[in-house]
Amino acid sequence: MQTALFVVVRILANPVSNVFQKQLAERSASPIFIIGSVHACLALVCAPLLLFYAAPITHDVWLNMLIAATLAVSGNTLLVYALRSADLSILGPVNAYKSVIGLILAIFLIGEYPSAAGIAGVLLIVAGSYVVVDRQVDQPARNAFVLFFRERGVQLRFAALFLAAAEAVFLKRAIVLSSPGTVFILWSILGVPLAAVAFLTDRAPLARQLETVRCFWTTYLALAVTTGLMQMTTVLTFGRLQVGYSLALFQLSTIVSVLLGHRYFREKNVRKRLAGSMVMTAGAIMIVVLGS
């Protein structure tokens, strides 16, 4: 029952946090500043817990969490850049390709080849992409599909997917060596200095970014809360289920992303994108559950 609750909260919290990220990005907030602000808010809550946390934190846990936090800050920053230049209802379904990435990596890293069901899942994801892609009436589907992968926002989303998939592995390693609570606390705190260092290379003036906080502080706070819920339920789910099965269940959030994109950003073709995202979600679940 608890695991089901964690999964449901994760499915809802992720696309809602994407809405707040997109709103801030459209209001001239720097993507890396957005991510750093979220970690700063979470760190304020988690720092006292770290000071009084009874469980010892080993060197291996610190190492895995440092890598995971680096991947998280990088991947989430790329995600915000993607949200700034593309529709939420397009980028949400793209998340299903994370399962395809995992399938390909398994071939080269551990010699695990896909079954017929896994190949069928890949074909479903590709077929769903054809449905999601926007094209003109007189434009061939093939050309629209090629342009889809050339779109800057989609390319950034794929880059973020690779980083998120790698992050999940290191999060799972750290959970096995410690606990979900420890992992969440370290993830929140370590993201602050990493984002601060990255912001030094950003051209966005700090004064202007602080002004966005003053004007839209409620959105920043809502983003911190939803991101905290998303990450906490992610590590709690990883603590109970295999990473692959967890990621498959999380794919259901793509449907919520399409609905929220239509609701908050007036994105079009909602029925077509819903149909495509459902097909892609089914493909992702087939890959993870039956694909090996």
pLDDT for the residue numbered 128: 78
How far, CA to CA in Å, does 222 sit from each of 33, 150, 216, 219?
A: 15, 32, 10, 5
Taken in order 23, 29, 35, 39, the sign of the CA dihedral is negative
pTM of the model as a whole: 0.87
pLDDT for the residue numbered 137: 46
Per the structure, the complete domain to which residue 76 belongs is given by: 2-290
pLDDT for the residue numbered 68: 95
Low-confidence ranges of the chain (pLDDT < 70): 53-55, 102-103, 105-112, 133-145, 147, 244, 288, 290-292
Q: What is the CA radius of gyration of the chain?
A: 19
Domain count, the chain: 1
Q: Greatest CA span in the chain, whole angstroms? A: 65
Quote the tokens at residue 135: 């094209």
